[in-house]
Structure formats: structure tokens, C-alpha cells
Amino acid sequence: MTVDQSHDELHAQAKRREVTLVPGALVNLLEYDLESLTAFCQLLGEKRFRAVQLFRWMHQRGCANFDDMSDLAKSLRQKLKGVAKVVSMEVVSQHMSSDGTIKWLFDVGGGNVIESVFIPEDDRSTLCISTQAGCAMGCRFCSTGHQGFSRNLTTAEIIGQLWFAEHFLRKHLQRDDRVISNAVMMGMGEPLQNYAALIPALRMMLDDHAYGLSRRRVTVSTSGLIKKIDALGLDCPVALAVSLHAPNNALRDNLVPLNMKHPLEELMPACVNYLAHAPRDFITFEYCMLDAVNDSDEQARELVQLVKHHGHSVTWCKFNLIPFNPFPASGLHRSKPERIQAFAKILSDAGLTTTVRKTRGDDIDAACGQLAGDVVDRTRVAIRIARQRSVGIHSSPTAASTNAKI
Ligand code: SAH
Ligand code: SF4
């Protein structure tokens, strides 16, 4: 996996994938966006409208059995049975929280599980989707990061989470209409590190013949892979969230190691440039509130300066403050509620739209950063984090002086 692919390479990956018929093997059709499915159907001698029908059966109706696809010719159904299948991952467990949040664990083989979380709210229902088994980025406050990286998910595994959740919920809630209105790539993994598989999955989320979600309601969250932010703007512009977590490079280097490769002076312009393609006129910065690490008044003011320095006004971004969800290995603590409020006030007094995220699904460990799953660390990221921990966090003079407990 490389961080530095050119846009041409990325763009080529995002284009239609190779569609082949492998003798004796069944192709999982959840792997294909509509364009690829059309190419697949053409290989079988079928016209595009057949691909549309098939696509709608799978994604709009949740049908995995070709025999049930009643308006497809019998001969085509027979043909499909010989070359294709529609399968999602096996559900290992399902936990329902008292607040309505549901967390599913899916088996992705090789001893790995990934997680998806359904979060119902009054005005929307969101599915939080994983894009990798584990994560190689090694952010210090993230339990997925501490678990290390195992592998990229396939397109079928990414879209399979929405496919399963949407159709499970329709049955469970006895509804015929769409249940999930928003999708956020904020589960396990760094979505832009899995660019080639992500883009077709995003296209399926947006496709009116599939889930028909609005671009504004599909969010990719990234720790800051800047070339891929640029590429996303061209290949499939959806809402963008960037995990900032620190107002300066010294602290961000420590919390989000990717910052050493792409520091703030590169990341911030990439965010501003994305606005030209974004479906909304702002991007969201996520900021995990860590007690005595990144939550001082001075750091809030530094953040305001950072935003002002890179944009003409402060309205080009919004801040989402996430109370840290602790896990023992992190050695970190959640900021006190009054500290979070004081921090938020400094941002909003400076004109920055700022929200504090409600934590959901606490009783079932479904909150941000707690999606750990069971991952085999193949990139030794856990060792790297352990080394970071022994160095400690030295950010700004204010943070350094309150660092003793870390
Ligand atoms: N890899 C992507 C998306 C997955 S993480 C990214 O980093 O953006 C989704 C969000 O949860 C990110 O903003 C991440 O920083 C945040 N997060 C991770 N661990 C957390 C924790 N323990 N408490 C609160 N937020 C956390
Ligand atoms: Fe990976 Fe995101 Fe966790 Fe960082 S915060 S380790 S990028 S999942």
C-alpha cells in the first residue's frame, strides 16, 4: 500500500474495474457498481436494462436469490446461477443499545472481524461503515489504530454493510421505504487508504437505482491523505470530514502520525481546494477532546488562527468536537464537559460553527474509536504506538506543562 500515488493512478483505479468471467468461480455481484455490472451483463450477452433490473433487485430490494428476481428471463437467471452470486459477510454478533444504536460485527475471514454501527436520530438515520480490517495509521487515541492493520475491505464488503443493514432494518421495522438516510465512512480503517475499493462503493450509495443517498449525506472521513482528498474531489465528490485533533504540527505529529508526512501547511490547502468540488460549502473538522492534551483555551485560539490563515473567512469549515472515548491502552482521558464547553465557546465566539458530538451506543462500545474488532497486526503499528507512548506528548508549552500523567 502506498500513500503517494499520482492522481492519474488513483483516477485509473476509480474507473470501471476489470470485469471477467472466471470458469468455475462465482463472481460476487456486490462488487460491481452499475457501470461494471452493465459490462458484466454484456459479457453474458445481455443489454444494459437487464443490468439495471438486476442492480435494483440486489440493492433496492435486498434480493440475493436469482430465482426470486421474477422479471428477469428464466434463461438469464439460469445463466447467472452458473457464474455469479450475491453474498454479504456473515454476522458474528449484533448488539442493540438502549438508545436505539445497533452494532454489528461481521466476519471477513482470516480471523478478522469488522464493525458497522446504525445510529437512529430524529431527523436522520446514519450507518457508520468500516473500510479496512484494522488501520495502519496508528493514531494514538484510536483503538482501531492500536489494533494494527490487516487488510483492505473489498467493494462488496464495504457496500455489503449498507446492503445488510438497510434490508435487515426494513424487515425489523416492517418498513418498505428507505431506513438509512446517511452513510459515514467513520468505522474501522482509513477510507482513502483503500481508494480503489471505496469509489465504486460510494457510487452505489449514491446511485438512484441502488440506495439513492444524497452526496451531502455520504461522508468520507480521513486522517489527511492529501493526494487522495484531491482525487476524491474529482472522482466522486461527497461530504468530507478531516480528523484534525491538533492546532499545530508538533502535537498533530504525535496524535496522528500521518501528519509527519503531510503536515498542516499541506493538509489545510487540500481541504480548502476540496470546497470547489464538495456538495456542501464547508468541510468538517473532527477534533477528539483529550484531557490536558489538546483542549486548552490557548489551543482553541491557535485553532482559530489556523482556520483564518487558510481561508478568506471562518465559514469554510465546521468543527465537530468528539469527547474522547477512552480505552485502557491509550493512556489518555476524556476532557471534562466544562472544558469542552469552554473550548467550543472560543471557537464559536470567533465565528466558527461548532458542535459537540453526542456519544451514542456507550453501553455496547459502539462509539467512535471503540471499533476495534479482532485484527491481526501485519504492519507492526501497535509497536510503533507503544514507542510513541513512551516518548509522550509534547505539543505547545501549555500542553507540555500538563503532560505528566500521559
Ligand atoms: N480513519 C478515518 C475514519 C475513521 S475514524 C479518520 O481517522 O478520519 C472516525 C473518527 O473517529 C475520526 O475523526 C477519529 O479521529 C475519531 N476517533 C478515533 N478514535 C476515537 C476515540 N477513541 N474517541 C473519539 N473519537 C475517536
Ligand atoms: Fe485509522 Fe482513523 Fe483510527 Fe487514525 S483515527 S488509526 S486513521 S481509523
Mutate to test the pocket of ligand 1, among 132, 139, 140, 142 (most ligand atoms within 8 A of CB): 142
Question: What separation in Å is there between the alpha carbon of 187 and the centre of ligand 2?
Answer: 9
Q: What is the mean pLDDT of residues 385-390?
A: 60
CA distance 347 to 349: 6
Question: What separation in Å is there between the alpha carbon of 82 and the centre of ligand 1?
Answer: 42
The residue type found at 94 is Q
Q: How many CB atoms lie within 10 A of CB 171?
A: 10
Ligand 1 atom 18 nearest Cα: 369
CA distance 299 to 317: 17
CATH number for region 90-389: 3.20.20.70
Mutate to test the pocket of ligand 1, among 158, 161, 186 (most ligand atoms within 8 A of CB): 186
State the first-to-last Cα distance of the chain, in angstroms, to the nearest integer. Answer: 32
Q: Are strands 218-222 and 239-243 parallel, antiparallel or unpaired?
A: parallel
Query: In the structure, what pLDDT confidence band is assigned to residue 405 with cuts at 50, 70 and 90?
Result: very low
Ligand 1 atom 9 nearest Cα: 186
The CATH class for the domain spanning 23-85 reads mainly alpha
pTM (global) more than 0.85: yes
Mutate to test the pocket of ligand 2, among 1, 144, 255, 322 (most ligand atoms within 8 A of CB): 144
Q: Are 223 and 187 in contact (CB under 8 A)?
A: no
Give the per-residue pLDDT at 386. Answer: 62
Secondary structure of 303-370 as H, E, C letters:
HHHHHHHHCCCCCCEEEEEEECCCCHHHCCCECCHHHHHHHHHHHHHCCCEEEECCCCCHHHCCCCCC
The closest ligand to the CA of 133 turns out to be 2
- pLDDT of 126 above 90: yes
The model's pLDDT over 177-201, given as tens digits with 9 standing for 90+, comes to: 999 999 999 999 999 999 999 999 9
In the chain, residues under CATH classification 3.20.20.70 are 90-389
- pLDDT of 373 above 70: no
Closest-lying ligand 2 atom to the alpha carbon of residue 369? 3
In the chain, residues under CATH classification 1.10.150.530 are 23-85
The closest ligand to the CA of 367 turns out to be 1
CA distance 384 to 399: 22
**What is the 8-class DSSP label of residue 296?**
S
Ligand 2 atom 8 nearest Cα: 189
Give the per-residue pLDDT at 371. Answer: 58
DSSP E strand boundaries for 97-245: 102-107, 113-120, 125-128, 132-134, 149-152, 182-185, 218-222, 239-243
The model's pLDDT over 285-329, given as tens digits with 9 standing for 90+, comes to: 999 999 999 999 999 999 999 999 998 788 999 999 999 999 888
The closest ligand to the CA of 286 turns out to be 1
Give the per-residue pLDDT at 269. Answer: 97
